[in-house]
């Protein structure tokens, strides 16, 4: 794939060519810039910011206006990657007009597409958004906005009936026009079958290696502080350790008068101070 701007059309072409798609969830300018510089294909401003960025127990308290705020910040750091904004809890459940209004806020903030969790009644929501010209990323499996209904953070799609239902919902979402589909905490075998069955690229998170792409939260893969680290997370760095050590050095140097040194200080002519 070219080094130019990533589009929804290119993601479909990547699936057809067998090229894996990379996606990262980011919440601010700095991490958005780093992800874009690294060459990630999709930057998702996820409502997971409620947990990783704010330390909440779940994603349910995140609002549309907060998502728009973070989307604006990430937009300033991202130029190449496709920027997707998460539709937060209840933002798609109050009718088509309200859904389009909420999605419009994310688009106005810089999102080039939105992500909608769930199947079932959300199929009509996806159709309405796509008809309005807003690209939609679907999301099945463990959908954090339904955490209370699901009974916790559990693997989804195990068992014949549940697997069949997820396959049907995936096909329905594809027919409704999603340009990609996130599969979260889904058995690898089921994710592979869904990936084969639909034309839209699948983006896995805890869904095995056969998906068309993968997504992780930047904070998780970089080893930032976290209350919980799911099994599907691979830490590629220990930024928590690096940052903690650096702050410790700063504290020690400040207390011992080492910092700031001359190289970090400004000066003036002594004669200018004589009148003081």
Provide the annotated active-site residues.
184
Q: Which of 159, 98, 162, 99 is nearest to 129 (CA)?
A: 99
Q: Which of 192, 73, 60 is nearest to 117 (CA)?
A: 60
Within 10 angstroms of residue 262's Cβ, the number of other Cβ atoms is 7
> What is the dihedral sign for C-alpha 64, 123, 22, 60?
positive
CA distance 148 to 143: 10
Could you tell me where the DSSP H helices lie in the chain?
8-17, 29-38, 49-52, 64-77, 96-108, 122-131, 147-150, 160-176, 188-197, 218-221, 239-255
**27 token code pair:** 């919440």
Give kind and range of the element (H or E) at residue 184: strand 180-184
């Amino acid at each position: 794939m070219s080094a130019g701007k990533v589009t929804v059309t290119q993601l479909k072409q990547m699936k057809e060519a067998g090229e894996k798609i990379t996606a990262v969830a980011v919440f601010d300018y700095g991490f958005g810039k780093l992800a874009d510089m690294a060459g990630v294909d999709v930057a998702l401003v996820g409502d997971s910011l409620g947990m990783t960025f704010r330390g909440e127990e779940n994603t349910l308290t995140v609002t549309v206006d907060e998502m728009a705020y973070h989307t604006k910040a990430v937009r300033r750091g991202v130029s190449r990657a496709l920027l997707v904004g998460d539709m937060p809890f209840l933002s798609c459940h109050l009718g088509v007009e309200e859904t389009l209004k909420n999605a419009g806020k994310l688009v106005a903030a810089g999102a080039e597409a939105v992500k909608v969790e769930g199947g079932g009644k959300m199929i009509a929501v996806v159709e309405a958004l796509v008809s309005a010209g807003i690209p939609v990323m679907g999301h099945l499996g463990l959908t954090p906005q339904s955490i209370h209904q699901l009974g916790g953070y559990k693997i989804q799609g195990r068992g014949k009936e549940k697997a069949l239902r997820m396959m049907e919902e995936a096909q329905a979402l594809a027919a409704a026009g999603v340009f990609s589909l996130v599969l979260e905490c889904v058995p690898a075998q089921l994710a592979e079958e869904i990936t084969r069955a639909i034309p839209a690229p699948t983006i896995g998170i805890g869904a095995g290696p056969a998906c068309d792409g993968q997504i992780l939260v930047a904070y998780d893969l970089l080893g930032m502080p976290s209350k919980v680290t799911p099994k599907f997370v691979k830490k590629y760095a220990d930024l928590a350790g690096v940052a903690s050590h650096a702050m410790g050095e700063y504290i020690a140097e400040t207390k011992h008068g080492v910092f700031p040194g001359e190289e970090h200080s400004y000066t003036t002519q002594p004669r200018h101070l004589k009148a003081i």
